[in-house]
Structure 1
């Protein structure tokens, strides 16, 4: 069953600073407390990033889109220790009214016998990443 998890967050950080961090592909260990290391192989679209989990295991993402004009980034999780058969993440960075930025993160996820627990885990991971102190992470 395909589920969509959406997280939105307004931050007081300038849009270009946030976009630069997202489009830079790496550094996810600064945002996700469950990731201990992020290695990037290649550059731009087609690059892969390997995420090492604190609890053990790795996830691999393939970068599908980096659209500087629309500040839109998309990746496909091609390997995961979780029972996920489809995972497509899209991050969009926009300008907030106060001069800060608005970040929207959408994950389309499908897993064998997906449960609210699996979707909830993804939501919790995304929320913790977006909610971390952006000034420290960026």
Structure 2
């Protein structure tokens, strides 16, 4: 099993950050490389499209409004992994927030290092986009 992680420290309050990213179907609101998200199964499944039209379907596995955290698994995607489970959470950090995005997965047809680099890049790029969205 391999894993990846990225963090963002921001001066914005945890409540402000969570209001933007806390909805499981809110990726298009802050993540430019996911311009489309359609929810189903009462909001527990999201079907995403990237700018190239690739489809990614994810299932919400856990949601904690009080802890400002949710975890999700990938059901289908073009990524070379299986057993993917990721968490996105916002924690208070002094006067601002710390956003953490991390996941674990089993690479398929690629090395642990390649799969880790792929998801580290996705998480870091996503948090950079979040920083821009927050202003």
Aligned to 1:10, the other structure's residue is in SS state strand
Deviates more, 1:128-137 or 1:105-114: 128-137
Equivalent residues of 2:102, 2:123 under 8 A apart: no
TM-score of the two chains, using structure 1 as the length reference: 0.85
Cα shift readout 1:63-114 (whole Å, capped 9, x = no counterpart): 01111222221011111122221110111211111x2111111111212133
* 2-structure distance, mates of 1:103, 1:133: 10
Is 1:103 the counterpart of 2:99? The answer is yes
Unaligned runs of 5+ in 2: none
Match status 1:65 vs 2:62: yes
Structure 1 unaligned spans of 5+: none
Residue 20 of structure 1: SS of its match in structure 2? helix
State the match for 1:112 in structure 2: 108
Distance 2:67 2:29 in 1: 24
Distance in 2 of aligned mates of 1:120 and 1:19:
26
Higher helix share: 2
- 1:55 maps to 2:55: no
| Shift in CA distance, 53/137, structure 1 to aligned 2, threshold 3 Å | farther
CA contact (8 A) 2:20 2:29 kept: no
What residue in structure 2 maps to residue 128 of structure 1? 125
- Work out the CA distance in 2 between the residues paired with 1:12 and 1:112: 38
Change (3 A) 1:92 1:113: same
CA RMSD of aligned residues (A): 2.0
- Deviation (angstroms), 1:15: 0.3
Q: Deviations over 1:2-59 (max 9, x none)?
A: 1110111111221012223332112313433332211112445xx1001101122200
